[in-house]
A and B are shown apart, each in its own frame.
Chain A
Amino acid sequence: MYAFDIERPTSVADAVAALKDQDAQALGGGQTLIPTLKQRLAAPSKLVSLTNIADLQGIANDGDTLRIGGAVTHATVAAEVRLTYPALADLASHIGDPAVRNRGTISGSLANNDPSACYPAVALASGATIITNTRAIAADDYFQGMFTTALDDGEIVTAVSMPIPEKANYQKFVQPASRFALVGVFVAKFAGGVRVAVTGASNEGVHRWAEAEAALTADFSAVAIAGLTVSADNLIADLHGSPEYRAHLVKVMTGRAVAAAS
């Protein structure tokens, strides 16, 4: 780790001001950033911790939509939305281990947009809106490829607005070492149609599977996607799986998510 300064602002305005310094870096739960710093793979001049900002805490429910503060931890999501959005609670409860879940935050995960992370899948499948200090960004516009988002420098995710589907389920087939998603599929059924988001599989990061959405909107059953095929083009190849394996798993996990949706 290289030396750096740290600030712990208590308001979004102070955080935004602190992030104007050159090479300042926002710090959520630090579950990706801190290991990166320990490896000396990043050298920010200053870390701006977001977890002391009261406005970034708390989960609100207006009946149709959850508003989750940016600094809410995975453990809190897992505990508090179990009845309102069980598939989201289940997803949050299987991120990392208890230490990760007690530190890691939803805004940290969404801002990092790891191609194998879980939160991008639920955000995209739910048609979430990412709320920042300056604007609201639809999930479809927010995720722009592996580790890439619509966020500008210094922009802070203050909350996530998550529509609650009629039925949903997340199927994560874990990478054996990291236990990130080798392939994860989140299926969400709304009155207006079905959304399917895939994480872990693509070199482009989280993405929707349009053919499955159309088929499932017409017939929400695992059989509905039986005739579909997933192209292996541009899927991730690594130690843990070939593009062809990931393509296969996308379909298998989608079918299982549909079957398990509740």
Chain B
Amino acid sequence: MPKDDGIGAATVRREDVRFLTGRGRYSDDIKAYGECAAVFARSNVANGTIKSINTDVAATMPGVLAIFTGEDFVEVGGNPAGWLINSRDGEPMKEPKRPVLAHGKVRHVGDAYAAVIAETAAQGRDAVEALEVEIEEHAAVINMKDALAGTNYVHDEIGTNQCFDWGWIEDNRAATDAAIKGAHHVTTLELVNNRLVPNAIEPRCSIGDYNPGTGDYTLQTTSQNPHMTRLLISAFVLGIPENKLTVIAPDVGGGFGSKIYHYGEEALVLAAAKKLGRTVKWTSDRSEAFLTDAHGRDHVTKIELALDDKGNFLAFRTETLANVGAYLSNFSTVTPTFLHGTLMAGNYTVPLVYVNMKTVFTNTAPVDAYRGAGRPEATFSLERVIDMAAREIGRDPIELRRQNFIKPDQYPFASAAGLEYDSGNYDALMDQMEKVSDKTGFAARRAESEAKGLLRGFGVNAYVEACGIAPSNLVGILGARVGLYDAATVRVNATGNLSVMVGAHSHGQGHETVFPQIVANMLGIDAASIDIVHGDTSKIPFGMGTYGSRSLAVCGSAVVRATEKIIAKAIKIAAHMLEAEASDVDFSDGTFSVKGTNKSVSFGEVALKAYIPHDYPIDMIEPGLEETAFYDPANFTYPSGAYCCEVEVDPETGKVRVDRMTAVDDFGNVINPMIVTGQVHGGLGQGIGQALVEQTTYDDDGQLLSASYMDYAMPRADDLPFYVVDHSQSTICTHNPLGAKGCGEAGAIGSPPTVVNAVIDAMQSGGKNITHIDMPMTPHRVWTAMNNAQ
């Protein structure tokens, strides 16, 4: 058994060698012979009618090869939403067409209405400036409440700005209303889950190529899921047959959700490559990224929690407006609904949950899944209102949560929001959190802070989320237009080393290290002899990609299943070599041996025999050693955690500093604890960023005021404390072969309410009757709240 690099080992990430030495190969690093550049003309108004686009002058500019406008794509399809949501009255959601280039109207600042293809990007920019464009500007629809109340429509053809009005669980609505009406105590909180710009370090980049000799298209692009991108382009947008289109996502510098989706730029570079017979590259600049990458969150919520006289939770009821921006991005309809409403029972035995979700079109960038995707919004609402309730009824916030926790002997537990949690132990997580955070030392630390003139607060949070999305049969019933399995092919090469082709895509997660750990563990061979191939539809089986913390639980399970098939076949080959019955052959530590004898062959010898099948039972066993498995999970996985943090607030300036942060998570079986810790660190950083600094602001005209790093703050190292991260209190996922749950988003889910709860605690300790401050809790906002409370 390879103890140093198998399951459970903190194996150093092999991909970091190239990433940290400048040898990564990102899309923009790829230079094709004769490549030319695409540059987009983007709207500088949020809502306007395109009256005319005169390309005559631009077309004669140096280096210009072609100019495309929306007119060129009228005959092709649009970029669809991946999930059909029906409103409470049974009406299907409104799905306005999302074209490759805007046609007729532009609907947000940054909306592309033309593209110039030129020899160089600089020439393309010159030509874009030379386009003679007349756009008649209209009043913009920005605020969601105004959008629903008014008659100024983002999409005139649908006659409303509401995409859908969804209820979950609709059958529980009346009972929930009655429970709240009759409750001993009801806590009500109105809150905003602030819009975030994803800010992957690598901006999007797409390279289209067309080979007139074969009719083959190739798209190299910054994607988290190349097969889904291919499917969307083939089946919905351009109609290129899947067998004639290869999509390659090489090294990708972060996505956080924003690179799940297919974007019009990808279709444009393919169409341009076909027209010109040239390789066409588009690389986003940072300004385009701010304006056009799908943003995250942007919910406005009213949540109510009903309690009985003993503090038992009776019902959660929420009304939320969720912004979908100007067009439906691929996951924009499932994120606020099934990835959010189904989590609205949290970690609790609460019997009733009702969620009303209205999604709203506005003249802003599309909004879609961003690290956590619906679950951070759910957790934030729940854990804020619970904290507020504890304060209102005079209960300790930890004890109130514990009283209502699902207990370990209640699994599998059918939550009031419609999910069946398979495992968990929330009290154990809370116990561990209290221990490793040195909660008992808080009073002394508060006294130290107060001696410095600072307020100190302690905030706590419990979360459960749903990962590993999900059983295809279930999601199909719920409206998904795709399946949500994943796939792996394990190819044992003749000399005994392995190539493992996986459907998941690694853009920071560390798959190239973790998946070999699994296979090495199963085959008893050195992980260094196993390589992962991902991100190229011409090489890998049809997989659904990476999002929703699903790579290990779903694709990792497919790797297990494929490896099991390898072992089953290898045992047959070994049995022949050992002149034994297959049932008498044992396999362990990389060696096949006959029970009760000292006869054995190594894994490498079996591999060689499979590919040089001399003296081989060719009538019974095929040559070769390569197996594929598709894995469709039986359920979501349910990671959970207990977090706490301590903040210091400067009452003179409103400045918040997170001093301590503890994350105790249950991720099920952990394959590589170092990578898991790293994922938690990243999530915590993003969650603290959302809580304290990240602010996406459109003005009333739809101009993005926070459109650069001069005004959009990202969390920096000195904004963040050293973290205490613990995953010692795991319960095993019961339905996948790895027992793994998923860790990629937890930090971003658990931390925002923890930080806000701590700030409110600090405010209260300073004698300020402040019950809520919206994120981001910038110094100005905290100072204003404190001033208003005086």
Contact = CB atoms under 8 A, between A and B. Distances in A.
A252 interface: yes
Contacts of B125: 40
Contacts of B783: 245, 248
Given A176-B713, A177-B713, A249-B653, A39 B780 contact: no
Interface string B87-115: 00000000000000000000000000000
B11 interface: no
B705 A239 contact: yes
A177 B693 contact: yes
B706 A252 contact: no
Nearest to A248: B783
Contact of A240 (B122, B129, B287, B778): B778
A203 to B, nearest CB: 17
Contacts of A249: 653
A123 B781 CA distance: 32
Contact of A245 (B711, B713, B780): B780
A209 interface: no
A245 B709 contact: no
Interface in B440-475: none
Interface in A68-93: none
Given A239-B695, A240-B780, A245-B783, A178 B710 contact: yes
B779 interface: yes
B655 to A, nearest CB: 8
A241 interface: yes
B287 A39 contact: yes
A223 interface: no
Interface in B697-755: 697, 705-706, 709-714
A241 B780 contact: yes
A111 B652 CA distance: 33
Interface string B202-245: 00000000000000000000000000000000000000000000
Interface in B364-423: none
Interface string B124-143: 01000100000000000000
Which of A176, A178, A245: most chain B CB closer than 10 A? A176
B765 interface: no
A228 interface: no
A241 to B, nearest CB: 5
Contacts of A39: 287
Contacts of A245: 780, 783-784
Contacts of A177: 693, 706, 709-714
Contacts of B710: 177-178
B653 A252 contact: yes
A161 B551 CA distance: 61
Nearest to B780: A241
Nearest to A245: B780
A173 interface: yes
Interface in A200-215: none
Nearest to B778: A176
A110 to B, nearest CB: 20
A248 to B, nearest CB: 7
Contact of A176 (B129, B287, B652, B779): B779
Contacts of A248: 783
Interface in A162-196: 173, 176-178, 182
B204 to A, nearest CB: 18
A249 to B, nearest CB: 7
B122 A242 contact: no
Contacts of B695: 239
A1 interface: yes
A252 B780 CA distance: 14
Nearest to A242: B780
Nearest to A255: B652
A238 B711 CA distance: 10
Nearest to B697: A239
Interface string A33-54: 0000001100000000000000
A177 B709 CA distance: 6
Contact of B652 (A182, A240, A252): A252
A40 B287 CA distance: 12
Given A177-B710, A239-B711, A252-B652, A1 B780 contact: no
Contacts of A176: 692-693, 713, 778-779
Contacts of B653: 173, 249, 252
A40 B125 CA distance: 10
A39 to B, nearest CB: 7
B683 to A, nearest CB: 20
Contacts of B778: 176, 240
14 contacts: A40-B129, A173-B653, A177-B706, A177-B712, A178-B709, A178-B710, A239-B705, A239-B706, A239-B711, A240-B778, A242-B780, A242-B784, A245-B783, A245-B784
10 A-B pairs closest in CB distance? A177-B713, A176-B713, A178-B710, A241-B780, A176-B693, A252-B652, A245-B780, A177-B711, A177-B712, A239-B697
